[in-house]
Amino acid sequence: MAYDAFGDAEVMTLRDLPEPLLGPDRVLVGVRAAGVNPVDAKVRAGRLETQFPHHFPLVPGWDVSGVVVAVGPAVEGFAPGDEVFGYQRQDHVQDGTYAELVAATERGLAHKPASLGFEEAAGLALCGLTALQLMRAVGVGEGDTVLVHGAAGGVGHLAVQVAKVLGAARVIGTASPRNHDFLRSLGAEPVAYGDALVDNVAELVGGDGKVDVSFDCVGGPALGDSPALVRDTARIASTVDRNVLGLGGRWTFAKPVAADLEWLAEQAGAGALRVEVQQVFPLAQAVAAHRLLEGGHVRGKVVLEV
């Protein structure tokens, strides 16, 4: 799937493009599945045009899972036949993962756990890295109480689980009531979002009514409530709203770090991380996948099958 100009979902079309070049330090991956993320729609709409060089025709997508077809002569960690997954954001935007073949960087690739299907693995990297790197940035650890805003979404549902693995004693998650049982299945205590959020969290937490960490995947009013919810505003984190920096908190843009991908693979392989996939679309239906994602209210991940 590719497009020649920024626009709505309909600019994407299925087409044949030349096979990617296999550089000396690249891994050619036969794609089995590609994760669909909100940032893909932002790129498509031109909202990151001032932050990265863009080149057309542009193939979207940064999340991938598949099987190694070939490796460059300088590659040491992968071999043909390996099952892999990864986060393939590069310094320019053009050769994405909504494709049959991807020339992947080693730093953005890890071996796929045998227990994880290709669809689940395709949904793990970007969201998992975002959750892990930002949780570490605000020092989530033993005994913490962590509040995750938007806990049923792609980053949110992994953030709940990452916090538990890092030692959080309690994880509270905001979500609509239809997703409360889902959050309980992940080990979170659900709470409804809305105007009464601060009071609802205080009642749930008890004591001084504060949490140690507020992890925001929503922005806007959710971030606005965060200073009243935490003991220390330096432990407010946001994946979506850079206004958090004005509060003294932390914002992140997922980095392709091989060691972090390996950590995610280890935890997923051990059953400590589960990737919820709401719907799988064929590659040719990427337009429908973007429409679903942009409609909001997706539980977990949307994935393309290649």
227-263 pLDDT per residue, tens: 999 999 999 999 999 999 999 999 999 999 999 999 9
- Which residue's structure tokens are 């409609």? 295
Classify residue 241 by its DSSP letter: -
70 — pLDDT class (breaks 50, 70, 90): very high
- Which residue's structure tokens are 């505003």? 233
**pLDDT tens-place string over residues 102-134:** 999 999 999 999 999 999 999 999 999 999 999
173 three-class SS: strand
- Distant-in-sequence, close-in-space partners of 286: CB < 8 Å, separation ≥ 6: 1, 9, 12, 36, 60, 98, 304
Residue 141 Cα distances to 243, 244, 251, 259, angstroms: 25, 21, 18, 19
Query: DSSP states of 23-77 as a string?
Result: -TTEEEEEEEEEEE-HHHHHHHTTTTTTTS-EEEEEE---EEEEEEEEE-TT--S
Report the DSSP pairing between strands 54-59 and 236-238.
unpaired
Per-residue pLDDT, 85: 98
256 in Cβ contact with 86 (< 8 Å): yes
Residue 161 Cα distances to 184, 226, 272, 288, angstroms: 11, 20, 7, 29
Residue positions counted in the chain: 306
Report the DSSP pairing between strands 250-251 and 277-282.
unpaired
13 — pLDDT class (breaks 50, 70, 90): very high
